[in-house]
Amino acid sequence: MNPICDICGREFDTERGLSVHNTSAHQKDKPYTDADRLRQLYWDEGLSMEKVARRLDTQKDRVEYWMDVHGIDTRRAYAEQDFASLRVDKDGYALWREYYDGEYNRVAVHRLAAVAEYGFSAVVGRDVHHKNGIQFDNRPSNLEPMDPSEHRRHHGIENADAQRELMHELRESGRLAGGGEK
């Protein structure tokens, strides 16, 4: 008895012939062949290829194959282009970091926000103070450019110890993620 395709009823001489037929003739009916769906899951929802495969009830290599067929870039390709990434340092400050010409460059988000609010000349050579003491509260209304010596006097040693203790408590309670690179 010759194998028959369950989808279209076509008869084949061998199991191999049926297998080849199933992987070519009926693939367009599978969700993992839909370029828009792949792009949505992978890029818009940020799922890994493995998670896309699980969502579409298939295997990762099949997802990779169809993404390649449709010319959908992978995040791996973008990672090789040295885009900037957002990190939180051990003290709770959000930092934009990028790798260029063999070295990492960083800039604190609160400094960028202060430049946007007050202008470059008001921030250059000055510290940016968080008025409420919360390093990750980068709202412009919470930021104030300060002379570095004034900033040190404002915080003092006792306040620095209190800040470290607060950050430790927030990390331990799970209310502060991060602790990455500085």
Q: What's the chain's average pLDDT? A: 82
Say what the pLDDT of residue 33 is.
84
Cα 17 from Cα 10, distance rounded (Å): 11
Cβ neighbourhood burial of 137 (10 Å; 0-12, 13-18, 19+): middle
Cα 16 from Cα 23, distance rounded (Å): 11
Give the residue extent of every domain in the chain.
1-30, 34-78, 85-173
Whether 179 shows a pLDDT value over 60: the answer reads no
pTM here is 0.44
In terms of pLDDT, which residue wins out, 105 or 139? Answer: 139
Q: Which CATH architecture is the domain 85-173 placed in?
A: Alpha-Beta Complex (3.90)
Whether 82 shows a pLDDT value over 70: the answer reads no
